[in-house]
Structure 1
């Protein structure tokens, strides 16, 4: 019986959502099948899944709870694969099933948007929210119960944004107020935050749809009572949970998972490392990361201490995945903007909370400047937007001061923060005179 409709046939959802649903079915806490349709016109994966009877395999490779995992999960919870354009009538039929409870989507960050040229009569050749508006209207007209929407697109408040778009289309198309009341009162739109590294298509026997991913998984869901009553997989011990707000968890992910990457990779590359795993297994770099993580970053996040430490430990474990060679240079792309979003927030929060400058985060700031400075004469590529590259091409009497004072980079003049320039300049001078590794050892001895 189809209880879930999924807009998104790509590797991520098939390695993420179906893993939860399949496991819930196998453990007897759920009894539901999935119908998958593609949000765009490309039917390559849909057709491949159909050829295989909608069955495929997930290859789980990595570390979890201190153990190396190398397992295969066979997926048979998908009952139908639908070509959104070529089989639109079938899609409408599934969308209006009495048994349908949940709609999952992953249409990329650009997928949840309002386009004022979309017409209801042109569905399905419209945006994803427009398609859903038209399909949900058909369900409303048939007097069927409302649905729970679980978007996993990586935008803030993804559920709220999807709901806003649907209501905007309903008004734009002059649909009746009763339909808008149905959207508001009988449907649930959950804000979610997801986390799993999916490495992509995998080679496994004759399975053309096999997908590989790490074993770690997290799905944080803001859900009302209606949504909680039908989302069964949060009962599993697989990292899915209900929360009053996803915002602290978003902060946790950005500051810890993404922040530690950005805090370490530029220094790591200049110290001679090429991939994350080798860097994390170096004694000095592991100590550097532990110090920055436990003594600085974690102290700026308002979540349960044990929960934060468990997540931090899982991040270090994920960095040490023996099956993924994650290149430091790949992570270094657009590092200035990444530092602002991922590390500067922790540095400023630490200063505001404790009235002093965080040492490791300041060292990572100095390492960023060292990585970019005079980049045209270095033996590695620096990939960033043109405005950033132009700045570092220009001559500077004091590169550290000029970087910190660049309001265009940081949204404010960071030289105004008492002690920050002095600290970053000292670390920058140490890196220049001692080399990155010795400068780091000096930091660790402070």
Structure 2
């Protein structure tokens, strides 16, 4: 089996239709080992299908530059799949001897500490940052060089946050000065990802929109994980983060709030809510609270343009994007997407009564 310079933590349909697709389509294709960190035995079939020699399908469907896109692509970048529950020794070998970079997308709660994180040997009960610490410590002990770490979780400054968690775990493990210096020498990359992936294909694959972005924040030693049109190295992520978080993601959470009040139909799609009363409420929030808020911070033109792109994406007739999926972890999303926007704009912007009401409902 060929070496895999990328080790990826996460098997989600988002990663299947985002990073793994980019690696397959890159100017120089890149091979990936995909790691399941949850230990969920029900997903064993997915693991096997991800690494099938013929690849797995991703259907790209939507509107791009005024034209309809409806095409199938094959993802052949995944060469090996492992589980932290059963394959730790092999995973440690790959991280030590093959890896150039590690990427992760472990969900909204992926960085939360676990009581097991302070244990001196790796266990399945540990959080992702603790497992990462033990893998990196094994690599350093073997004399291999530092790595680039690409977290893709939707956490502001995700590279800095993940590094801080790993360094805290190193301190709890009384790591040597040499190991701590080595961890400091790793390149902890802040990045932002954006693509709506609406539904899975069993046992592996997904349906996704044409729009895609993997923005990587420039810094010493930072390089793009592959050469692909959707992968961009940018001087600063703040503008992109704010637009995505407080227009696209905020809009999703507004729709989730409406959906919860409507009765929570499990088969209600985003595109179906872009008409009638749900659309009228979302449109009012965008135009009376969100756009004026961005204007108060100096992003009037950028926000107006991004909002129009977002509405086109929400109306994509091909995507069965269930609002029920968006509504998961609703309280945390309302805090991060809406309350954070209110706090960022502060007293310089408009009154945000509708947005404040959503946050209050989510917390109750």
Change over 3 Å in CA distance of 1:115–1:73 after alignment to 2:
same
| 1:125-274 correspondence runs (5 A) | 126-185=126-185, 187-202=186-201, 208-228=203-223, 230-233=224-227, 236-238=228-230, 240-261=231-252
Residue 42 of structure 1 is matched in structure 2 by: 40
Q: Is the 8 A contact 1:64 1:317 kept in 2?
A: no
Q: CA deviation at 1:288?
A: 7.6
Change over 3 Å in CA distance of 1:168–1:245 after alignment to 2:
same
Q: Is the 8 A contact 1:5 1:95 kept in 2?
A: yes
Q: CA deviation at 1:178?
A: 0.5
Q: Is the 8 A contact 1:113 1:165 kept in 2?
A: no
Give the SS at the match of 1:13: helix
Change over 3 Å in CA distance of 1:166–1:54 after alignment to 2:
farther
Change over 3 Å in CA distance of 1:346–1:158 after alignment to 2:
closer
Residue 8 of structure 2 is matched in structure 1 by: 6
Unpaired runs of 5+ in structure 1?
373-383, 389-446
Give the SS at the match of 1:58: strand
Q: Is the 8 A contact 1:54 1:81 kept in 2?
A: no
Residue from 19, 22, 47 that aligns with 2:21:
19
- The 2-side partners of 1:266 and 1:50 are apart by 34
Change over 3 Å in CA distance of 1:237–1:20 after alignment to 2:
same
Of 330-339 and 158-167, more deviation after overlay is shown by 330-339
The higher-RCO structure (CA 8 Å, 6+ apart) is 2
Unpaired runs of 5+ in structure 2?
263-267
Change over 3 Å in CA distance of 1:242–1:295 after alignment to 2:
farther
Between the two proteins, the alignment pairs up a number of residues equal to: 352
Residue 93 of structure 1 is matched in structure 2 by: 93
Q: CA deviation at 1:3?
A: 1.4
Give the SS at the match of 2:159: helix
- The 1-side partners of 2:239 and 2:174 are apart by 38
Q: Is the 8 A contact 1:112 1:165 kept in 2?
A: yes
Q: Is the 8 A contact 1:109 1:153 kept in 2?
A: yes
Change over 3 Å in CA distance of 1:263–1:111 after alignment to 2:
closer
Residue 300 of structure 1 is matched in structure 2 by: 293
Of 256-265 and 159-168, more deviation after overlay is shown by 256-265
Q: Is the 8 A contact 1:223 1:243 kept in 2?
A: yes
- The 2-side partners of 1:131 and 1:336 are apart by 27
Higher relative helix content: 1
Q: TM-score scaled to structure 1, two decimals?
A: 0.66
Give the SS at the match of 1:80: strand
Q: Is the 8 A contact 2:198 2:320 kept in 1?
A: no
